[in-house]
Structure 1
Amino acid sequence: MAHDMGWSAQGGEPESSDSMKTFGGFVQGLREHAGLSREEFGARVHLSKHSVASIELGRRLADERFVELAEGALGDTGALRRAFRFMARQPGFAAWFKAWARLEREAVSLATYECRLVPGLLQPEPYARVVFGNSIPPLSDEQVEAQAVARMERQRMLRECPNTSFSFVIDEHIVRRRLGGVEVTRSLLDHMLGYAQLRNVEIQIMPLDCEVHAGLDGPLALLETPDGRRLAYSEGQKTGRLITDAKEAAVLHRRYATLRSQALSPLDSVGLLERIGGEL
């Protein structure tokens, strides 16, 4: 994705937001109403009292596991679940970028469809620098450097998580566009072909002459957690949305399955990438 779901070089917890502070205040109010100290509540949700404080003060992003445990500890009213779903649907909530990045590290499968540019997990460093160099407003040299380094660091997942399945469907025009020039495009194609050799990576190209296309609503990212939850992520310009609702996520997973059936096979996709490289 254009900014790869907000992944930044700084890492750590996301910056606070009004949504996080509101949710945290709601947690604190329910905890105090239940007569629990942060330490007592933390023991029930498997967090330290300091982590509980971070959530209540809007400094730490809650996840679904926390919400379910907190519901059990606070009377199982469903109030936290409703508040969490509402917050997850808010457009422009940049902190969800970081939530997705954390989920990626634990996922058993990751799938990405892109129609704008090569997904960050497949970008070689020269291509990534061109992407960040095209940012508007412009980034400083130091910012471009930091973002490129962070992207390469994140990309290590493909080799460091051999038991995680990575699937990519990419529109053909993306790899034909000579973003950054011929040499950058050559490095891109070589980089992608290298990753395509990994057993846990499948790259499929959606050909230009395909008369059907299940991805016309735009890019999407999907993952499955170790406990079988299926989540999705949708991104637009300056907005991002983590989709935790099971029915909504299921629709996007079906779309991606259709995309894979419409795209070239992984073997044919490798052949196309090799031909495009030969044309440069």
Structure 2
Amino acid sequence: MANIDGGPGTSDSLKTFGAVLKVFRERAALTREQLAEEVIYSPHTISSIEQGRRMPPEDFVERAEEVLDAFGVLRVAARNVARQPGLAAWFRLWAQLEKTAVTLCVYECRVVPGLLQTEAYARAVMLDVPPPPTEKELAERIAARLARKELLRREPPIALSFIIEEAVLLRRTGGDEVTREQLDHLIECARLWNVEIQIMPLRQPHHAGTDGPMQLMETREHRWLGYAEGQQTGQLVAGRKDVSLMQMRYARMRSQALSPADSVELLKRMRGEL
């Protein structure tokens, strides 16, 4: 079995690839030793890759992709082993995967989802959270976020579902003018045939999303992945049981939130009150 020494030092993208490899290895219920036999690499090498201390060789990626039935995620993660300016390290893989998704579902309780943000709203959010970015960092982050918005009108189209807490919009991030523009943009996005926006009302005694924000994605192979994010961290969810649980919660939230039509009416009323 091959063993790899040397290679680049630990980087955010290497750590991300290692974490994704571990997720799919555990999903397949394989130990490092068992995976080593299947991919013809040493357990030491697999440990190093999972810890973000080794660059994954191309043949390793291909073998692991097949053995772990990772439906293309490991290949995408391997291409992502490089810095992408403007995107948080823990989010880069998900941002790459969403480019080829056929369905994307997003629940947010902190801010307007990035795919729906205006430039002014994005700038306000980025400047609010310490530490303050440099001008270069701010420009990179805004450019990366705006580039992701191309997904709304991608060909072939992607089915997009968003559930946003009403409280997020009542906060008026960035002030009244920024909020007016953001509300107008949400109303415009809701007119797109492939985009569904639902508002979770402020008063809702039954709420399936109290564990926090989450995203769900259907791949081209019609397999589902989940993503959850916290302070300075993000987690790809690939286990069938865990993804099923997230799907159950998202489905419940869709029934608890306002309908798409009622959500647009609420957005219009909120816009008129500014």
Deviation string 1:186-208 (CA, Å, 9 cap, x unpaired) is 01001111110000000000011
Deviation string 1:192-236 (CA, Å, 9 cap, x unpaired) is 111100000000000112221110000000011121211100000
1:240 maps to 234
Secondary structure of the residue that 2:161 maps to in structure 1? Answer: strand
Please point out which of 12, 15, 20 is paired with 2:13. Answer: 15
- Seen in structure 2, the aligned counterparts of structure 1 residues 60 and 193 have a Cα distance that, compared at 3 Å, is farther
**Whole-angstrom CA distance in 2 between matches of 1:60 and 1:113:** 36
2:270 maps to 276
Please point out which of 168, 172, 177 is paired with 1:178. Answer: 172
Offset of 1:28 from its aligned partner?
Answer: 8.0
Deviation string 1:4-25 (CA, Å, 9 cap, x unpaired) is xxxxxxxxx9632397399699
Please point out which of 40, 61, 65 is paired with 1:31. Answer: 40
1:47 maps to none
Offset of 1:123 from its aligned partner?
Answer: 0.2
Which one-letter code corresponds to 1:31 in the other structure? I
**Whole-angstrom CA distance in 1 between matches of 2:195 and 2:259:** 13
Offset of 1:145 from its aligned partner?
Answer: 1.4
**Whole-angstrom CA distance in 1 between matches of 2:41 and 2:189:** 51
**Whole-angstrom CA distance in 2 between matches of 1:201 and 1:22:** 29
Which one-letter code corresponds to 1:269 in the other structure? S
8 Å CA contact retained: 1:232, 1:243: yes
Equivalence map 1:91-240=2 (5 Å): 97-161=91-155, 163-240=157-234
* Alignment RMSD (CA, Å): 3.3
Secondary structure of the residue that 1:156 maps to in structure 2? Answer: helix
**Whole-angstrom CA distance in 1 between matches of 2:166 and 2:146:** 23
Structure 1 segments unaligned to the other structure (5+ residues): 1-12, 34-54, 73-79, 81-93
Offset of 1:62 from its aligned partner?
Answer: 11
Deviation string 1:151-170 (CA, Å, 9 cap, x unpaired) is 01111110124521000000
With structure 2 as the length reference, what TM-score do the two structures score?
Answer: 0.74
**Whole-angstrom CA distance in 2 between matches of 1:155 and 1:209:** 30
- Seen in structure 2, the aligned counterparts of structure 1 residues 71 and 142 have a Cα distance that, compared at 3 Å, is closer
**Whole-angstrom CA distance in 1 between matches of 2:60 and 2:256:** 34
Structure 2 segments unaligned to the other structure (5+ residues): 1-10, 23-31, 43-51, 75-87
Which one-letter code corresponds to 1:17 in the other structure? K
Is residue 244 of structure 2 the alignment partner of residue 250 of structure 1?
yes
Deviation string 1:32-84 (CA, Å, 9 cap, x unpaired) is 57xxxxxxxxxxxxxxxxxxxxx993268999986341469xxxxxxx9xxxx
Secondary structure of the residue that 1:15 maps to in structure 2? Answer: helix
**Whole-angstrom CA distance in 1 between matches of 2:176 and 2:57:** 43
Which one-letter code corresponds to 2:238 in the other structure? T
**Whole-angstrom CA distance in 2 between matches of 1:22 and 1:206:** 32
Count of matched residue positions in the alignment of Structure 1 and Structure 2: 227
**Whole-angstrom CA distance in 2 between matches of 1:275 and 1:101:** 33
With structure 1 as the length reference, what TM-score do the two structures score?
Answer: 0.72
Offset of 1:149 from its aligned partner?
Answer: 1.2
Q: Which runs of 4+ in 1 moved over 3 A?
A: 21-30, 59-66
Secondary structure of the residue that 1:163 maps to in structure 2? Answer: coil
Structure showing greater relative contact order (alpha-carbon pairs closer than 8 Å, 6 or more residues apart): 1
